[in-house]
Amino acid sequence: MLLCSCVQPVEVPKYARFLRGAFVSDTAMGAVEQSEPKKRRRVECEDGNGLDDVSKYKEFFGLPWTCEQFIKRACESGHPAKSNYAVPKDLKVALDKHMEWSEQTLVAYHMGWCGRWLKRAVGLEPLEKADLANRPPHVKAATKNKRLLLTQEIIDGLDYEDPGALDLLRSGSPLAGDIPKCAVFQELYKPCLVTLSQLTRKSEKWNQAIFAACHSSGDAEVDRQVHHETREEVRLGWAVGPIAQVPKGSVVSRRFPLAQRNKTSMIDDYSISGVNDTASSHKKVDLHMVDTFAAVLREFFQRCGEHGKACVRYWRKLTT
């Protein structure tokens, strides 16, 4: 990948593809480039308005693999059916225990674990109330039923890779700007495309366009449900409103319904308002997908055969 600045010309290799551009500070990218005196400059926008900006504009280019490079990488990776790499370590441990332990041992372990922490929860009750009182008001309403001290002791006892995982429930998480790092996920830096200052400067015009784009879904029952769900979130303290007038400098995002087979979900669209473009992340969140489930099934049946277990009987136990 090639990094270049608009004020420092860099030769782009042939066939390179432009990926994205963003205004960022000198050190935000963690990249090494030729030093250049930092100075305030005028940046002309599409609407003709000029913006004073002290950051640099970075452009990202990527070179695609050749056919030979792609084939080599595929051969090095190997076929997923010949390995169990898709099975996470914690699920491998669970499979080991289901193969090695008897039914009585598994039940005793589960009952002992739950009994221990239920007893500990009672002892922590006064401290949990004090911890709740110290949280910000907007976080307190959403986490009033969360036993954070108990959960912290549990993850500490498990040697969880991210000991600060509960910080988000104590102080909240920003929707814009730099997203906090997490030790559990893989490194993958994604810079912001728009700075917060740029977003707020243009918010008045963008808000007008967003208000103009809002309309009925065409289904009165769906509209009623959207209104009901929104008022319910306000009642629970998850949202604040209604607001008679949007404060100056605020950024408005729209909400729309997504009708599914059994329910209608509320979607808050932070893309249309540009909030998503202000976020920069350092990690890639990997979720268990179909490949993981299929790998666990394959590994489970293979181990049942190795240990002489009845697959159907044990599989029913795992899924109930």
Is-contact 269 254, C-beta < 8 A?
A: yes
Residue 311 to residue 316: CA distance in whole angstroms: 9
* pLDDT reading at 317 higher than 90: no
The tokens describing 223, both together, are 């509209």
Q: 29-33, 114-118, 152-156: which range is least confident on average?
A: 29-33
Listed residue (8, 14, 64) closest to 32, CA to CA: 8
> Residues of the chain with pLDDT > 70: what percent?
79
For residue 304, give the amino acid letter.
C
**What pLDDT was estimated at residue 73?**
84
pLDDT, tens digit, 9 for 90 and up, residues 56-112:
667 777 888 888 888 888 888 766 656 556 788 888 888 888 888 888 998 999 999
Predicted confidence at residue 150, as pLDDT, reads: 95
Question: H helices of 202-251, where?
Answer: 203-213, 220-236
What confidence score (pLDDT) does residue 162 get?
83
pLDDT of residue 23: 54
Residue 6 confidence class, pLDDT cut points 50, 70, 90 = very low
pLDDT in tens, 262-311: 788 888 888 888 888 888 888 887 777 787 888 888 888 888 888 777 66
In angstroms, the CA 255 to CA 237 distance is: 18
Rounded distance, CA 127 to CA 147, Å? 10
The more confidently predicted of residues 43 and 70 is 70
One DSSP character per residue, 277-292 reads GG-BEEEE-----HHH
Identify the pLDDT of residue 112: 94
Average pLDDT score, the chain: 77
- Taking the CB of residue 222, how many other CB atoms lie within 10 A of it? 16
Give the per-residue pLDDT at 43: 40
Q: Under DSSP, is residue 259 helix (H, G, I), strand (E, B) or coil?
A: strand
Helices (H) and strands (E) in the chain, counts: 12, 9
Q: Which residue bears the tokens 């814009």?
A: 176
Note every long-range contact of 26-29, with CB atoms under 8 Å and residues 24 or more positions apart, other chains counting.
26/55, 26/56, 28/191, 28/280, 29/3, 29/58, 29/189, 29/191
Distance CA 19, CA 210 (A): 27
- 295-301 LR contacts (CB < 8 Å, sep 24+): 295/80, 295/84, 295/85, 295/86, 295/87, 296/87, 296/91, 296/95, 298/81, 298/84, 299/84, 299/87, 299/92, 299/95, 300/95
d(CA 229, CA 234): 9
Taking the CB of residue 244, how many other CB atoms lie within 10 A of it?
Answer: 5
- Paired residues of 284 in beta bridges: 186
pTM as predicted? 0.57
Give the distance from CA 317 to its chain's centroid: 32
